[in-house]
Every structure is written in C-alpha cells, then in structure tokens.
Structure 1
C-alpha cells in the first residue's frame, strides 16, 4: 500500500514540474516573440522566463534588480519595473560577481 501512495505523490510532483516548465517556456517564447517590436518587458515576465532566458532562478533576478536599486519600495512597485533582456543579463552578471563580505 505504501508504495502505491508514494508513486502517486511522485507522479503529482512530476506533473507539477512539467506544468511549471511549460509555463516558463511559454513566458520565454512570449518575450522572444515580442522582441522584434518591444524592447522592454515587465519584471514579472522576465522573472517567469528567467531560467530559459538568463539561466538563473527568478529569485536571482529579483536580487539583482533590488541590489541595483531598481524598484525601491514594495514588491508590487518592483514588479512594475520594465527592462530589456540585455540589461537584466548585465544586472544578473554583476550581482553574481559581487564579493560576499
């Protein structure tokens, strides 16, 4: 009995992971597709596609943006920040390269 329950839970986790991956890929495709006409994207869209576009988790992008002083204030204000993919890449690289004291 215990084995059956574990298998069901494992399948549920795998299904959720597949759904999250599909959502990230869709967000990345949306950003790439719009790239021909729009240069700046809302931070929430870049965060949704951060693993595909930037190779980092959304939390890293949020830290990079917050560390750069963009969107100082509440989380809602920060999510309204717009930036280009190249700028996001630069901020992430700079953030990851900082020395820890």
Structure 2
C-alpha cells in the first residue's frame, strides 16, 4: 500500500489578523465588546494575532480576579 506510514511534512499555516480588525469585529467574532478585547490584548505589542489565541486571551482576561 503506497503512502501508508509516511508522515506529511507540510507545515500548517495559521492565519493571523490585525489588531484593528479584531477590535472592529469583536462582537461578531468573539461575542464581546471591543473594550473587553482591548483589555485582553493589553500589554501585548504584537500587531497580528491568530483567532484561537485571542479566544484564549479573552477567556483568561474574563477569569481574572479584580483586586
């Protein structure tokens, strides 16, 4: 059986999106207001982010304790 047991060495490309676009469409993409996304991204100087990472950052931000 040809091809059986061989691994495909193709790298997975993860799309990234500009911060401004994510903020503009935060309610449609993540179900949160832009202010929440801004708080979740605060301190991260990158200009582009993958969606799954942003979702994780939002979840973490919303679980933080307020002191």
Residue in structure 2 matched with residue 47 of structure 1 by the alignment:
23
After the TM superposition, which parts of structure 1 deviate over 4 Å for at least 4 consecutive aligned residues? none
Q: Counterparts of 1:1-101 in structure 2 under 5 Å? A: 39-66=15-42, 69-71=43-45, 81-101=47-67
Which ranges in structure 1 are unaligned for 5 or more consecutive residues?
1-36, 72-79
Which ranges in structure 2 are unaligned for 5 or more consecutive residues?
1-12
RMSD between superposed Cα atoms in Å = 1.6
TM-score with structure 2 length normalisation?
Answer: 0.74
Which structure features the higher share of strand residues?
2
On the 8 A contact 2:14/2:50 being kept in 1, the answer is no
Three-state SS of the structure 1 residue aligned to 2:62 is helix
Three-state SS of the structure 1 residue aligned to 2:37 is helix
| Larger relative contact order (CA 8 Å, sep ≥ 6) | 2
CA apart distance, 1:59: 0.9
Residues in 2 aligned to 1:49 and 1:86: alpha-carbon distance in whole angstroms: 15
Number of residue-to-residue matches in the alignment: 55
TM-score with structure 1 length normalisation?
Answer: 0.51
